[in-house]
Chains A and B, each alone.
Chain A
Amino acid sequence: MRHIISLLVENESGALSRIAGLFSARGYNIESLTVATTEDPTLSRMTIVTLGSDKIIEQITKQLNKLIDVVKLQDMTDKDHIEREMMFVKVRAEGESRRSEIQRVSDIFRARIIDVTDTTYCIELTGSSRKLDAYIKTLHEGDVIEVVRSGSMGITRGEKSLSL
């Protein structure tokens, strides 16, 4: 099953490689991983999306907690939470009908065109990973020049938070 796990880690060089190394050494999957410093510069916040049986996920959370650099961890999967991913797509956009079709679809997905040339559009889209997948499917395969995805990040709803 797909799990989304958020971590607060010491903002130390090497913390990221300890976490990435743990996944590769123990044969766990990483579907996506995002990381950036928080409002407290000594802490980084990381979101990992991973796949595994309950037993594997239990081991993943235990092994992550065991890392000295991991300060706090939360598996958000079963908690009420918001999840978003951001994507840039550079797409070939030539001819009036093709250009307006891409605009129309982008409007439907609430995507924004953020760069325009004679032959291309660059589109920005935020949403769940599935929504991003769905958007890409609307484009002709040969037209997609480049895709950049941030990986998912998540936050729980309501008062509760992942903080010290």
Chain B
Amino acid sequence: MELSGSEIIVQFLKDEGVEYVFGYPGGAVLHIYDAIHQQDDVKHILVRHEQGATHAADGYARATGKPGVVLVTSGPGATNAITGIATAYMDSAPMIVLSGQVPSGMIGSDAFQEVDAIGCTRPCVKHNFLVKDINDLAITLKKAFYVATSGRPGPVLVDIPKDITAPQIKIPYQYPESINMRSYNPTVKGHPRQIKKAVELLLSAKRPMMYSGGGVILGDAAQELRTLTRQLGFPITQTLMGLGAYPAPDPQNVGMLGMHGTYEANMAMHECDVLFAIGARFDDRITGDTSKFCPHAKIIHIDIDPASISKNINVDIPIVGEVKKVLSDMAQIITDSHQKPDQEALAKWWGKIKNWQAQDCLAYDRDSQHIKPQSVIETLYEVTHGDAFVTSDVGQHQMFAAQFYPFNEPRRWINSGGLGTMGFGLPSAMGVKLAFPDADVACVTGEGSIQMCIQELSTCLQYDLPVKIVNLNNRYLGMVRQWQEFFYEKRYSHSYMDALPDFVKLTESYGHVGIRVENPADLKSAMEEAFAMKDRLVFLDVITDQTENVYPMIQAGAAHNQMEISPDHQKRQNSINPEGELA
């Protein structure tokens, strides 16, 4: 079969099983778009900004586990995509970005719409390729998919000069079924001796703590995590990226940890004697002050990426390998050994945790005359029966969603945790909705974040993507305002969102439904109304309490036992004794 470069790209995507390509045309990719036009197998979703394309592909990837594919033109097409590429990189989402490039002969001449896409994206991709010869095109695409989806996943960019895709030049094409790269062999199997040592340490623990992260979701290891956690009977906390791997309503779950984690999770981290980190990377929002992190604990860490091990926190038993396999090996070893953890110590430990839980750290004022953001998320949970895909933007609403929507399943909670990209929520919800057209997909956002990719409302209409947007509108960049209140003596520098649009009218002008909610009593009925409209995009503009802050909070660089639980406990930080108990 003789194909042009453009035809090879489209045929390859089809052979690779790609359903959707998110993209935006331009000069350098016109040949490719012509090839796309002549087939129906690979569906192209025309976004309204390249950032939207990357986030949509990212949302699709996170919800399905399959790589998201993006097609952008050279120059501004590529640079606009960078925020989304960096977002995927920080959260290890598998993504392929095909970027057009000026013709080979013009590279380096400062041609129209020329940018060094390889150079610009180098720090935020897992790898990138410049295709210099049409004969390398198919194999390079195969390498890109292989690198993006194996080991620790991540985005891979393939930069394709326009002459490579010209319709006149045709070469024989065959889909490369497999690929071997001498310089890339991700470790998959954990070291048996390390695994055995880890099991011994777990069984000897008196105050154990499991801490699982996004790696469990990326590695499709939720089932193995559940089996082992239940087998051990240990408390488990999950990171922002890991929510849903272990079911949140389960009694062994003590909630999210870190800066806005629960009191019980953070205290248990501080007090534990064995910490079992699973597919988590000890991010600074998790650890706080690294010198005071888990001061009493021996640490076991499973990660597919050797560079994640002992990067921020030194670990005692590192295990490099796929979480799924290692966890199932561990469960098997424990079953075969007929041993159990020290039940007496464990019961005592749970007693201590129950005391911390009694602090009810997520309590908020339920009788307020204003709509509390927490209640919006709780209502969302109720109305969607806890079964929705929830994407979010970045800020207070993101934390409220993580705290108040107890996720039962992995891949349901989709947010930009590492890079913290405002604008992520709506386009990623589009990617999720394409993958799961019958599921409820909610984008929890704020009036600041939503305006960063609001143009994608148009894409939602064109492709009939009836997502539900839950806008926690407090007329402030809430998290910025919270920090300014706490750390800048309430000097609210540029955090007030003046001159906001009328979101209801705005949504209507895009052809969707807008509903404004100002009264707590109307919240539930409005939410029900929105989700009852299965085939319409509904923008719920919820006017929330301007003064609400996210609690608990560990200030940046503080230790886990230095938490502020609520405004009533502002001074509580000082009233915690050296044992980490509340006085």
Contact A59 B184 (CB under 8 A): no
A25 to B123, CA, bound (A): 8
Interface residues of B in 447-468 (CB under 8 A from A): none
Contact A68 B307 (CB under 8 A): no
Contact B305 A66 (CB under 8 A): yes
Q: Which residues from chain A contact B126 at a C-beta distance below 8 Å?
A: 68
Least Cβ distance of A56 to chain B in Å? 10
Contact A68 B130 (CB under 8 A): no
Chain B residue at minimum C-beta to C-beta distance from A65: B306
Least Cβ distance of A145 to chain B in Å? 34
Interface residues of A in 10-47 (CB under 8 A from B): 10, 13-14, 17-18, 21, 25
Our pick among B183, B306, B314 for the contact of A10 (Cβ within 8 Å) is B183
Q: A14-B130, A59-B307, A63-B307 are in contact. Are A71 and B119 (CB under 8 A)?
A: no
B14 contacts the other chain (CB 8 A): no
Q: Which residues from chain A contact B309 at a C-beta distance below 8 Å?
A: 62
B182 contacts the other chain (CB 8 A): yes
Contact B183 A14 (CB under 8 A): no
Q: Which residues from chain B contact A69 at a C-beta distance below 8 Å?
A: 127, 183
Least Cβ distance of B286 to chain A in Å? 18
Contact B123 A164 (CB under 8 A): no
Interface size of B by CB at 8 A reads 20
Q: Which residues from chain A contact B184 at a C-beta distance below 8 Å?
A: 68
Identify the interface centre among B126, B183, B311: most chain A CB within 10 Å of its CB.
B183
Q: A21-B123, A62-B306, A164-B182 are in contact. Are A68 and B147 (CB under 8 A)?
A: yes
Q: Which residues from chain A contact B90 at a C-beta distance below 8 Å?
A: none
Contact B310 A55 (CB under 8 A): yes
Least Cβ distance of B367 to chain A in Å? 50
A29 to B367, CA, bound (A): 57
Our pick among A13, A17, A66 for the contact of B122 (Cβ within 8 Å) is A17
For the residues of A in contact with B, the DSSP-based class is helix
B181 contacts the other chain (CB 8 A): yes
A interface footprint on B137-161 (CB within 8 Å = 1, 0 otherwise) = 0000000000100000000000000
A139 to B309, CA, bound (A): 48
B362 contacts the other chain (CB 8 A): no
Q: Which residues from chain B contact A9 at a C-beta distance below 8 Å?
A: 183
Q: A17-B119, A17-B122, A21-B122 are in contact. Are A68 and B127 (CB under 8 A)?
A: yes
Chain A residue at minimum C-beta to C-beta distance from B310: A58
A70 contacts the other chain (CB 8 A): yes
Our pick among B122, B130, B181, B182 for the contact of A18 (Cβ within 8 Å) is B122
Chain A residue at minimum C-beta to C-beta distance from B181: A68
Chain A residue at minimum C-beta to C-beta distance from B122: A21
Q: Which residues from chain B contact A59 at a C-beta distance below 8 Å?
A: 307, 311
B interface footprint on A58-94 (CB within 8 Å = 1, 0 otherwise) = 1100110110111100000000000000000000000
A122 to B311, CA, bound (A): 47
B331 contacts the other chain (CB 8 A): no
Least Cβ distance of A86 to chain B in Å? 29
A17 to B307, CA, bound (A): 20
Chain A residue at minimum C-beta to C-beta distance from B123: A25
B118 contacts the other chain (CB 8 A): yes
Our pick among B130, B183, B305, B306 for the contact of A70 (Cβ within 8 Å) is B183
A interface footprint on B285-329 (CB within 8 Å = 1, 0 otherwise) = 000000000000000000001110111001000000000000000
Could you name 21 residue pairs across A and B whose Cβ atoms are closer than 8 Å? A9-B183, A10-B183, A13-B130, A14-B118, A14-B122, A17-B119, A18-B122, A21-B122, A55-B310, A55-B314, A59-B311, A62-B307, A65-B306, A65-B307, A66-B306, A66-B307, A68-B181, A68-B184, A69-B127, A69-B183, A71-B182
